[in-house]
Structure 1
Amino acid sequence: MQLTVTDTGPTLVIAVGEARIDAAIATRFKDHLREVVVHHRKPVVMQMGAVDFMDSSGLGAMIALRKALSEDLPLTLEGLTPNVERVFRLTRMDTVFDIRPEAENEE
């Protein structure tokens, strides 16, 4: 699984390097990321620009990750490709997640 986790101090930045988040990796993806976010207990920015496809299993993994964070800790999704953004929009999960069009520069 291709994930890069960077602790910037106030925020945990997770760059997803997988092209697909589907049934084949969703459980491992969810379990690994849940451990990471619960351990760090801080706002999460997930950079999703490399993900070209997400199915309902992948969406379920993202929801589980959101639930693993306390309500006062935001989970921001950045740089969704059109296909992945469509999954969030069609399921109305775009109202649950903070979705931003592109990654912001940390410099």
Structure 2
Amino acid sequence: MHHSDRGVQYASQTLRKLLQREGLTMSMSRKGDPWDNAMMESFFRSLKTEWIDTGYATEAQAQMEVFKYIEMFYNPTRRHSALGYLSPAEYERRYEAGQLTPVEVAARC
């Protein structure tokens, strides 16, 4: 699933074909409803403010650094107010273990 706002770059035929070729479904927020994409906007704000972009020799190197930020810091360590000040990994672990009530889960969506 590839979710985005309705920006022209995300509605392009080129992107549609790429997503289709990769077997991904395109999803877009509703017109005039910025809350549809609030979680992704928050993630990218965090990425831009917390991740030190030092310039990279190759695209592959940049991709690896973003991957490390997500998998080594953001998911396992970074606490989120929207998740009751748990990291995404800890929230998911508790959810899978049945330690969150449906009300707690719904309140976070």
Q: TM-score range by the shorter chain?
A: under 0.3
Q: Which structure has the larger Rg? A: 2
With normalisation by structure 1, the TM-score equals 0.23
* TM-score of the pair, normalised by structure 2: 0.23
Structure with greater helix share of residues: 2
Greater relative contact order structure (CA < 8 Å, 6+ sep): 1
